Amino acid sequence: MEMTEPLRGSRLVHPLDNRNLSFEKYIDHNTLEGVPAAVDFSKKKRTPWRRMGNWTANNCTCATAGHMIECWTANATHEDIILTREVMEVYIALSGYNPETHENDDGLYYQDVLKYWRKIGIGDHKIKAFTTVDLKNPKLVRAAVYTFGGAYLGMELPNTIIKQELWDVKPGGLTGDRAVGSFGGHAVNIVGYDENFIYVISWGKVKRLTWEFLETYGYVLYAVMSEDFFKAGVTPLGLSLNALEDDLMTLSKAKKTLERQLGEQHD
């Protein structure tokens, strides 16, 4: 039976890790003037957006990745359709979700999905690296979306979004149905922006949200680097994918060294 409204968002929220790569480190602020005032990467998509299982399972973190792959390939070469089965395989592998009993349907940490996507891939597509972006800085958000063909956004949604066409901050303070996270956590991919709104794909549809809504209910924003979108390994703003990937590997090695040292101290 068709559900009249989506599942409650996942309550699984990953603590932010300050050892993540930061987009601000790589952007020359003088080049921000070259970022257009509005972009819409969804225009080149030829097939309808789909829920990819995110109506009966809390797999929004994985569905977002599928949506991003389809959007990237539609803009760069030809659209590669990601099957719901391929998205669900990732969710099952990481969560232990049982499609028959719906056990272990607690959602996933954003970073765990991004790491899986980078190391193993989703639908035969891997990403090169990912960086956090200051979602309270509209200039950096625009630059990230324009540079990387979209962005991966994690939010703590309020109950007020139910059956709401435009996601906006309702007056009255962040209490009750307006409270941050009262609906739950939710991942979406940003496909465009303009002066007034940000455009995301949620539950198989394009949704508009205001910049104030992003700042109020946004939890974490990732710029995700993929060869599906870039040509010759260079972004529109001149960033090198190889340099970013090298830094990610350096960071990963430093993290493993620290974890080993901490483990030795507790032996």
Structural domains in the chain, CATH included, are: 35-262 (3.90.70.10)
- Bridge pairing between strands 205-210 and 151-157: unpaired
| pTM for this model (two decimals) | 0.84
Say what the pLDDT of residue 219 is.
94
Question: For each successive 10 residues of the chain (267 residues), what is the average pLDDT?
Answer: 49 50 62 84 94 94 97 90 97 96 93 94 91 90 90 96 94 96 95 97 96 97 88 60 62 53 53
Residue 131 burial (C-beta neighbours within 10 Å; 0-12, 13-18, 19+): buried
State residue 231 phi and psi, 5-degree precision.
Answer: -115, 135
